[in-house]
Structure 1
Amino acid sequence: MRLCAFISLLCLSSFVSGRNAPHSERKRAVPEGFVTTNHGQFELDGKPFNFVGANSYWLPLLTTSDDVEKTFLGMRDQGVKVVRTWGFNAINGSELAGALESGLTYYQVWNSTKFVLNEDSQGLQRLDNVVSTAGKYGIKMIVTFTNNWIGYGGSDLYINWMLGSGATHDEFFTNENIISAYQSYVKTIVNRYKTSPSIFAWELMNEARCLSDTIPAGPNCVPGSETLNTWYSRQSDFVRSLDPFHMITTGGEGQFFWENPPILWSNGVASTDYNFNGQAGEDFDKTLSLPNIDFGVYHMYPQTWYPQLDFPGSNFTVQGWGLGWMQDHIQAAKAIGKPLVLEEFGISGLKNKSTVYKEWVDFALESGHAGVMPWQFGQLGLTEDGGNRLIKYADMILNGASPNDGNTFYANETSIDDIFINAAKVMAQRSQ
């Protein structure tokens, strides 16, 4: 998740660019227990696989196996079948002493132009435990290789240490030395788990854009430049060369590059919508047609993408915008013939969640989404450090509750929780 600093207005529309012909998909043979795709759907051991999932970036940040077990048990009891988490947790060398003192999980340390891998009990062994525990509870994992944003050590660490000041964020996608470093880390993660049926899919990056929250975009990453699409193509091919069986997806927010994007009017000034004009760098239609991108994912945060329009009396509604965004993606995925997952979505406020989520989830079920993954799952009853622990930033375990960013929901919020439990039952019936 990322709160978008670039805000625009979507005219509700079902326009699809029409540049992509239906994709002729050939089922890939995979080992028993691995999920694959077949004619626009997921398949597990010859049966359809549809799911309600969960996001839990904080899961590998837990310090005790008991709390990891408790979290997976809670997810299983709610019908969760797929969990998405960060396969990256990186720090600067200056943070190392504090990380060792606080118990912070970290997989990479940057103190020069090369990172140092941490495979010990405070490093990748924690991710090992998460993956193995997921298998114990019949849950599969989407593992994301890096972050577009600075949180928990994303792509900007590569840029800052390898290129220094003055570099632009899009150089992460084009600089050969950075690409080599990224691939080195990806190879470590893929080789570590490529035989595990607990892995649902590899994810190239969380919410790739031309810019980040700390480094601007450069002139070589503009609408039509193909910067991100070229990177997605190259990195998905690389991952496929390492692992012929697990699925691969982008991790993108799902922005489009339409020839006629919707128009935004703000304070009497017209502009095209950031989510549709290619400015973010993504081109959902074109990227989804890449041969080694197995399924489409997209994210949805209209409340935070369009805050100046979400006010009483406005003709903009969070619920309506979301339904239009969902329709645009389902049409694009059907045109290409690949499965579609609503991978992240969130709004704040208990009443908002209990009313709007019901409409969104019902539409996802009706429209053929193969997976629905709210941001984010919350767990109660965690016991490490007495149930109170500052992890990093403002993220903390408080009174036994996992980190709450305003979008988090917990099992005791039954008006919300029941929406996903009921949807999980529908998805389970479709998977028989």
Structure 2
Amino acid sequence: MSLGDLKRMAGRSLLAIAGALCCAVAATAEEAERPPAGFVAVEGTQFVVDGEPYRFAGVNLWYAAYLGAPADYGDRERLKSELDRLRALGATNLRILGASEKSPFKRSLSETFRDRSEACNETLLQGLDYALAEMEKRGMRAVVFLNNFWEWSGGMGTYLYWTNGGTFVDLGDPAHPWSAFPNFTAQFYESAAANALYRDYIRAVVTRTNTVTGRRYVDDPTIMAWQLANEPRPAFEARDGDPRMAAFHDWVRLTAAYIKSLDPNHLVSTGNEGLMGCNESEHCFLGAHAPPEIDYLTFHIWPRNWSWYDPADPEGTFERTIERTKDYMRRHVDYARRLGKPVVLEEFGLDRDGEALAPGTPTTYRDAYLRTVFEAVEADARAGGPFAGTNVWSWGGAGRAEHDDFEWRVGDTQFTGDPPQEPQGRNSIFDVDESTLALIKAHAERLSAKEKGRSAQ
């Protein structure tokens, strides 16, 4: 696919759903003015802040707003402690959840930012306010995702459930094959009613005024980017030329443009997993990231989920995991060069030795894996490439599983970093995992040294 093809794809008018979706777009990214001082901006394949290069080492702290909430499930002292620990490690970019929906799914958050009514949960929004205010004090930045393809926070399937008469497919339901869930959820892209509710929520959050700082979110440089969703992807069976693929591309472009119409100061990204979140279609991935309203590329790497790595046979599968990871990273860096935009690896992780879940248990293979990823990013930084940052999944910090079976239950408040559908501890990086913490700190220091070196040139 040529760059000209991508530009034509990005400029294609929406025929299927444009008339149905609410709220006209007032401006495009190309028409927007340069952000005010302190905001992360894009220049070519690089992030910059006030003209200086910006690369980052970061983590996923999806539950930040939950800890910040003035509620029984909140813990503001823990939040401040977690932020202090991360700041000391140099992990200053946090990918956090800014939306959740009261859903019928069995493995989904019980406290949510909204339910079916028009009202938002002010308590949780105040938690987001507090988290952003505390991040600002520490010179940290947030990527806030506003929806979820998966069931654990409600997400797209819940919006469909609210607007289709109460029909839903739950992930893991033995009555349905795995593919039934993504194929159901992907109907969201073409649902005018579901997207109208989603846009109402986008507007409420993006135009919000922080109750702690008194600053509008639009004017807050602590927010690096708004993200359309966690891991949005087309229908599982959609291939190139399928109308469902076109619907996915149109949804990305129009939703990003809508956010830009409300907030011209912040970056917008997709949250997509890359090729594996695009049915391994290059056309799908490039088409989702080509629009000018999308400021940078994202991708994720999940070796266990993608059957690259078998935690029951680490010696037999680790080498191929490393090779496939390196190749996956190279391909997405190449896509970033082709589109002329930065790229961020914003989710990646690996099991502890022996599939252990408890804090402090050995992380031999995980550490070796993270070291490989970090070295590849740092090499690209030395070469002046488009690799802009990393967000490890996921920061568990002082969180601990509340039950001996490490399963999440409704009402649990000791967030570990693993969402409700995962064993609590599977991908968590805890505050006692010293070898892993040392890797993150060294990675952050090397990226910081590289940026300082570039600034001095």
Which of 115, 118, 125 aligns to 2:121? It is: 118
CA positional deviation for 1:413? 1.7
Q: Distance in 1 between matches of 2:92 and 2:318?
A: 37
Alpha-carbon shift at residue 19 of structure 1 (Å): 4.9
Distance in 1 between the 2:409 and 2:241 partners? 31
Bigger proportion of residues as helix: 2
The 10-residue stretch of structure 1 (175-184 or 142-151) with the greater mean CA deviation from structure 2: 175-184
Provide closer, same or farther for how the CA distance between residues 394 and 427 of structure 1 changes in structure 2, counting only shifts above 3 A: farther
- Structure-2 separation of matches of 1:115 and 1:217: 34
The answer to whether residue 361 in structure 2 is matched with residue 370 in structure 1 is no
Aligned: 1:410 with 2:443: no
| Counterpart residue number, 1:86 | 97
* Residues 322-371 of structure 1 deviation map (CA, whole Å, 9 limit, x = unaligned): 11100000000011110110010011011111111111110111123110
For 1:203 and 1:159, the matched residues in 2 are separated by 20
- Of 200, 216, 224, the residue aligned with 1:200 is 224
- Unpaired stretches in structure 2, ≥5 consecutive residues: 8-28, 68-73, 170-183, 209-216, 353-362, 419-423, 453-457
| 1:344 and 2:347 are equivalent in the alignment | yes
Whether the 8 Å contact between 1:396 and 1:402 is mirrored in structure 2 is no
Task: Check 1:304–1:396 CA distance in 2 against 1; reply closer, same or farther (3 A cut).
Answer: farther
Deviation at 1:169, TM superposition (A): 2.2
What is the aligned counterpart of 1:30 among 28, 35, 57? 35
Q: What is aligned with 2:280?
A: 276
| Distance in structure 1 (CA, Å) of the matches to 2:135 and 2:318 | 44
Q: Distance in 2 between matches of 1:246 and 1:371?
A: 17
Unaligned segments of structure 1, at least 5 residues? 1-16, 258-273
Tell me if the contact between 1:378 and 1:408 (Cα under 8 Å) persists in the aligned partners: yes
Any idea what the Cα deviations from partners look like across 1:383-429, whole Å, max 9, x if unmatched? Answer: xx9xxx9975596528xx66544111124222211221111112212
Q: What is the identity, as a one-letter code, of the residue corresponding to 1:35?
A: V
Aligned residues: 374
What is the match of residue 397 of structure 1? 414
Where does 1:166-315 land on structure 2 (aligned, <5 Å)?
168-192=184-208, 193-211=217-235, 222=242, 225-255=245-275, 275-277=279-281, 283-306=284-307, 311=313, 313=316
Change beyond 3 A, Cα 1:92–1:412: closer
Q: Kindly provide the CA deviation profile for residues 18-72 of structure 1, in whole angstroms up to 9, marking residues without a partner as x.
A: 556899x979511111110112100111211110011011222220221111111
- Structure 1 length normalisation: TM-score? 0.78
Inter-partner Cα distance in structure 2 for 1:315 and 1:351: 11
The residue type equivalent to 1:346 in the other structure is G
Residue type at the aligned position of 1:358: R
Equivalent positions of 1:34-73 (< 5 A) are: 34-62=39-67, 63-73=74-84
Deviation by residue 1:260-308 (Cα, 9 ceiling, x = unmatched): xxxxxxxxxxxxxx74247xxx822122211110011100002221168
Q: 1:240 to 1:352 in 2, by over 3 A?
A: same
User: Does structure 1 residue 356 correspond to structure 2 residue 360?
Assistant: no
1 CA distance for matches of 2:276 and 2:309?
22
Cα pair 1:391 1:397 within 8 Å, conserved: no
Task: Work out whether residues 390 and 396 of structure 1, in 8 Å CA contact, stay in contact via their aligned partners in 2.
Answer: no
Q: Give the structure-2-normalised TM-score.
A: 0.74
How far apart are residue 240 of structure 1 and its match?
0.5
CA offsets 1:96-116 (integer angstroms, 9 cap, x no match): xxx9xxxx6421022xxx443
Structure 1 pair 166–414 and aligned structure 2 pair: CA distance change class (3 A): closer
CA distance in 2 between counterparts of 1:302 and 1:371 reads: 19
Say if 1:182 and 1:319 are closer, same or farther in 2 by CA, change over 3 A: same
The percentage of aligned residue pairs carrying the same residue is: 24
SS across alignment from 2:91: coil
d(CA) in 1 for partners of 2:379, 2:309: 31
Over 3 Å counting, the alpha-carbon distance change for 1:217 and 1:94 in structure 2 is: closer
Change (3 A) 1:159 1:317: same
Q: SS of 2:395's equivalent?
A: coil
Q: Which amino acid aligns with 2:90?
A: G
Taking only aligned residues, the RMSD between alpha carbons, in angstroms, comes to 3.4
Aligned mates of 1:375, 1:315 — CA distance in 2: 19
CA distance in structure 1 between the partners assigned to 2:51 and 2:240 by the alignment: 45
Structure 1 distance, partners of 2:344, 2:241, is 26
What's the counterpart of residue 334 of structure 1?
337
Q: Higher relative contact order at CA 8 Å, sep ≥6: structure 1 or structure 2?
A: 1
- SS in structure 2 of the partner of residue 331 of structure 1: helix
Secondary structure at the residue paired with 1:160? helix
